[in-house]
A and B are shown apart, each in its own frame.
Chain A
């Protein structure tokens, strides 16, 4: 992730910077005027490495915004670390630029430019030395909720936690138990884990909204007024679907045929008023840029780009918050404080053939991150939200599914009427009808009904991950029914139809 920080700069002077960044990537986003971000993986490979890219970006930004008090370019794994790097890079570090850049551009970088590249996987070490107040920086997701983050920082300070390193050294469960959700976010940020998706993905064609402005508007306020109604509709529609808009594309067209397209990112999530602010900033910049429209604005279009399941708590399941939702969230935070963050999981359907694969348990803090980029990508390709769970999975056993799926399958023995273990031949035939099932405690029960064997051969293309098993349904004389499998000569009870 690359973040460009231009210090305190007027909204209208940012337009040339955004245009300049387009030569590096088509997906640059503005967090606010003077703070731009884009994913670095592709561009850094193309422009000859991270240092080279950072140098070039600093050069281009400084040229595009001569009025900026400073030009900071930061590069790190996550948005937060990159943003902090950009904002704290000491001026004069432009010496870090590689010779190739200096050679190509002769003049080198202006004195006001500062570049700081944090190597991959080093975000945590880089952040460790910084004061905890960095958590309230505009690049942090905690910035949006000023009151909560102020309270959090105040308490952290009074507890003697002065640096992000101190915070990262605490156990996640303790921080969560004491501070709830803001604490968990702060802790993850301090550890260099930034959950916000880096890759911008469109939410789908149909999610965008647009309005023709008739009569065409020549005042920014008129356009902003139209945008307000559009943004209200878009945000509430996404909220109804349980989604948050993290990034929005804004397009404006004038009757002279000019168009302005920009992408804006919010540190937490867009509300309608935030979208309108961005529209206003973008238009101000557009009207003063060299490509300014000569006629009034005729069309405004909003496209939500990155949508993540609603709520910063990343439960991924709370839409509009009601009192009951808040109550449940508090209870979850308390339980996580008691047992650790990993103890609370959310059930999710997953694709697979074996009972253990069809349902997965996603840790709460991962539930949001897991859902957003992947699903958005799938949505783009298939045109609607689909996932592996809805795929047919030939070979999986039909409903009813077992109500108890053992986390650790229990080793058992299954014997025929002669007392010999039941085996399955290479042709998928049982050696004899199963007669007796002995569980791991040594208790035996008679098999009264059985079905199978159903062979399953998964991932045969990768020897290390290959699974070959024969599945049986066994009903015992006490009325219980089990799903038992024979895999490389060993019998196991995988699930019970309890």
Chain B
């Protein structure tokens, strides 16, 4: 999914668009299956059973609630600094903004400790404050649910079109078609045969919008 297979240690990845939480969880699940410690900061609404369905080792997760006891997000930078020093992977929820010098310190600390950061930007992504530049950005452009109709069926699987762009190896934006998740619950890139079919249906969606 990522240009180098998985998240490079010490770098940040940003995910945005509808389905970004599922994508962030899937990325984190890969890391936690390898035995990494994961902290989710400012994700008060994280669905625990969805997390378990991605094959995450819940024993190695800690959830940090930034708004505990009626607090605002003012402690976010300090909390991120502390978790980045101790955990192998940190998930950062939407709504946290890290500005200028703090962001640069955070990135330096991540490189020093080999910690990766996944920034979930939410369904309507706004840019992170200057400084915290992600190595790779995964933007979910189009999604389509299958299995559900007008009063029939249920949500079964989701097809998504993801734009991958970033620095270095990923400097040229790539368009990827993914299952998010597929009918068997996995998050995976669509196979070549499916991909063309996917592409067609997204074209249709686009045409319908334009028309």
Contacts and interface: CB of A to CB of B under 8 A. Distances in A.
Interface string A430-460: 1001000000000000000111100000000
Nearest to A332: B62
Interface residues of B, number: 58
Nearest to A173: B69
Interface string A175-191: 00000000000000000
**Quick one: which of A325, A344, A404 has the most chain B CB within 10 A?**
A404
Interface in B129-159: 142-145, 148-158
B168 to A, nearest CB: 27
Given A359-B49, A407-B45, A449 B150 contact: yes
B71 to A, nearest CB: 7
A401 interface: yes
Interface in A443-488: 449-452, 473, 475, 478-481
B61 A339 contact: no
A184 B59 CA distance: 21
B154 A398 contact: yes
Interface string A308-342: 00000000110000001101111110110011101
B50 interface: yes
Contact of A346 (B45, B63, B142, B145): B63
Given A344-B63, A451-B148, A402 B39 contact: no
Dominant secondary structure of chain B at its interface with chain A: mixed
Interface string A406-448: 1100000000000000000000001001000000000000000
B66 interface: yes
Nearest to B88: A324
Nearest to A327: B86
A230 B185 CA distance: 44
Contacts of A316: 59
A80 B123 CA distance: 51
Nearest to B82: A334
B204 interface: no
Given A331-B87, A347-B61, A405-B45, A338 B78 contact: yes
Contacts of A335: 64, 79, 82-83
Interface in B13-49: 18-22, 25, 36-37, 39, 44-49
A12 B39 CA distance: 51
Interface in A349-407: 349, 355, 358-361, 364, 397-407
A397 B154 contact: yes
A335 B86 CA distance: 10
Contact of A480 (B18, B71, B185): B18
Contact of B53 (A399, A406, A478): A399
A288 interface: no
B183 to A, nearest CB: 9
A405 B83 CA distance: 23
Given A343-B65, A478-B18, A400 B181 contact: yes
Contact of A345 (B59, B62, B154): B62
A473 B148 contact: yes
Contact of B48 (A347, A449, A497): A347
A397 B123 CA distance: 23
Contacts of A258: none
A345 B88 contact: no
B52 interface: yes
A218 interface: no
Contacts of B19: 479, 498
Given A473-B155, A479-B142, A331 B61 contact: no
B75 A338 contact: yes
A443 to B, nearest CB: 11
Nearest to A339: B68
A332 B64 CA distance: 9
Interface in B62-94: 62-66, 68-69, 71, 75, 78-79, 82-83, 85-88
Interface in B90-114: none
Contacts of B22: 400, 403, 497-498
Contacts of B48: 347-349, 358-361, 405
Contacts of B188: none
Contacts of B144: 479
Contact of B150 (A342, A397, A450, A478): A450
Contacts of A406: 45
6 contacts: A331-B82, A347-B63, A348-B48, A399-B53, A451-B148, A451-B152
Top 10 A-B residue pairs of the complex, sorted by shortest distance between their CB atoms? A359-B48, A331-B86, A343-B68, A317-B59, A403-B21, A498-B21, A479-B143, A334-B82, A401-B49, A401-B50
Interface of B: 18-22, 25, 36-37, 39, 44-53, 58-66, 68-69, 71, 75, 78-79, 82-83, 85-88, 123, 142-145, 148-158, 181, 185
